[in-house]
Amino acid sequence: MMDQYTIIGKFIATFGIKGDLVLKHHMGEGLNVDALKTLFIEEKSGKFMPYFIASVKNKNDEEALIQLEGVDAPEKAKIFLRKQVWLPEQEVKIQASKHAPISLLGYTVVDGKVELGKVLEVIEQPMQILLRIDYKEKEVFIPLNESTLLKIDHKKEKITVSLPDGLLDIYIN
């Protein structure tokens, strides 16, 4: 089975003289530095290149300092700036804080009694979160905000929403 990869953040800066990179991530409450050994960067559409981590240290809850193997100078690190960082979906589930929006990957979205689909991607925006699902073989974006989110059941991995009338029709018609 081919791994499904999920964007966890991107490299936003270099740090220091040893080629460390600052990773701004969406994992919440810092990365599990002991468990993170490899990360992936998409080289071509759908082709992910693994990079092994020499060291990782949490800077704060949203940023980590990462040194990749073989990247030992700021000049070498600069080629990674603004690149998105990916992890296999299963590792994201292990790494993500239970309170981080990215932990909703794989949850089932339900509107009333209608099961809409599983969360394939979580997109964080300033005023809301968008959940990408497949509904009736169409890509649909479900907004999560104060007016749409009713309940998140972490035990059953279920998100109950109340969507505005006609929202799904925009996607399927």
- Tens-place pLDDT, residues 91-139: 877 777 777 788 888 889 999 889 999 988 888 888 888 999 999 989 9
Q: Which amino acid is at 28?
A: G
The whole-number average pLDDT for the span 47-51 is 89
CATH architecture of residue range(s) 5-93: Beta Barrel (2.40)
What are the residues facing 14 on neighbouring strands? 21
Homologous superfamily (CATH) of 106-172 is PRC-barrel domain (2.30.30.240)
Residues 6+ positions from 154 with CB-CB distance below 8 Å: 98
Residue with tokens 């299963």: 90
Q: Where are the alpha helices (DSSP H) in the chain?
A: 74-77, 89-95, 167-172
Least confident piece of the model among 33-47, 71-85, 129-143, 149-163: 33-47
- The residue ranges of every structural domain in the chain are 5-93, 106-172
